[in-house]
Homo-oligomer: A and B are copies of this chain.
Amino acid sequence: MGIIIRIMNDKPKITLSEVALAADVSPITVSRALRNPAKVSAEARARIERAIHELGYVPNPAARALASGRTDVIGVIIPSVSNNVFADVMRGIYEGLEGSSLGVQLGTTRYSPLTEEQLIRVFLSQRPAGLIVAGHDQSPAARALLGAAVCPVVQIMEVGPPPIDLSVGLSHFHGARAGVEHLLAQGYRAPAFLGAQMDPRSQRRLAGFRDGLAAAGLGGDPVVTTPEPSSVSLGCRLLADLLARRPQTDAVLCNNDDLAIGVLFEAQRRNIRVGPQLGICGFNDHEMMSAAEPALTSVATDRLSMGRQAVHMVRDRLTGAGAPRGHALDLGFRLMPRASTAREG
């Protein structure tokens, strides 16, 4: 069996030394031509490039990593891939990678701090080019690990306390507060909050909602949440719950757009006039919000740039020109008022 495998593996696997031989230089020069072309004379470089092309040489990243003690991989640690928000962020991350030779290694914590800590430990042990982690609620041990990391560490999703190293995100608290303030400004008197998958970001949005209510002197705690993952049909159900419990509700701030769409459908089903009778405000401003009928108000966030910027923070550090430790980029949010929160219409 060893023999069979050996034979099958015997396709022309070109090594650096073979390229060196063909280009009539030493292996180390080829290595340099690849890593740091400026340190190699133009003639040598030309010969090397030709040899690489002719032989179809592809570098072996494992050997590179072993010899140099570094990898060209950015570790990304998020709670879950089944969350639309993180899907958008991942998209941004992959976009940010374009034009670099970097790769990403993805780990999911499933909302467990212990798993997160283990992932951080494992990722760091592989000396990644950088680490991107979601949120800033890491366990003390995890924070210590990240603080001692020799690579750039970017905390994404939120702005808040000073970052361990770098961060890019937005204030979910203020985003939600802007949403509820908008509802109140539009004249709604009894707004409620609908939330699913109550991760730390959602919790802070809820806090922003409560803060906005309190600031307006409104009492009660008109909140319906569930730990279930968010979905459109869940939005339908949550609205049903809410109206059963608190019929006087005249507006809802949804933890995200999926729920808002669900609320819209459920309202249509019940012949509730969205806008005049029931205000709806989502969160994130997914593309479909503006296409809906009526168009749905939402708090726009830029998940795509979040991912992109995080990667670029790492890339900039790699080229030496990066932002200093402690730099936090606030991407902000933008309230997009639409027909779903217009009381006359």
Give Cα A231–Cα B288 distance, bound, in whole angstroms.
7
Across the interface, name the chain B residue whose C-beta is closest to A10.
B150
Residues of B close to A233: CB separation below 8 A = 287-288, 290-291
Contact of A94 among B60, B108, B126, B258 (CB under 8 A): B108
Would you call A34 an interface residue if the criterion is a C-beta within 8 Å of the partner chain's C-beta atoms?
no
Would you call A65 an interface residue if the criterion is a C-beta within 8 Å of the partner chain's C-beta atoms?
yes
- B71 pairs with A82, CB closer than 8 A: no
A262-B288, A265-B293 given; 20 more Cβ-contact pairs under 8 Å: A5-B150, A8-B150, A13-B125, A56-B121, A60-B126, A61-B62, A61-B126, A66-B66, A81-B90, A81-B91, A81-B94, A82-B91, A104-B106, A231-B287, A232-B287, A232-B291, A236-B291, A261-B288, A262-B291, A266-B293
Task: Tell me the dominant secondary structure on chain A's binding face.
Answer: helix
- A269 pairs with B287, CB closer than 8 A: no
Size range of the chain A interface in the assembly: 35 or more
- Scan residues 141-184 of chain A and give those whose CB is less than 8 A from a CB of chain B: 148, 150
Contact of A121 among B58, B108, B287, B288 (CB under 8 A): B58
Chain A residues within 8 Å of B, Cβ to Cβ: 5, 8-9, 11, 13, 56, 58, 60-63, 65-66, 69, 71, 81-82, 87, 90-91, 94, 103-106, 108, 121-122, 125-127, 148, 150, 231-233, 235-236, 258, 261-262, 265-266, 268-269, 287-288, 290-293
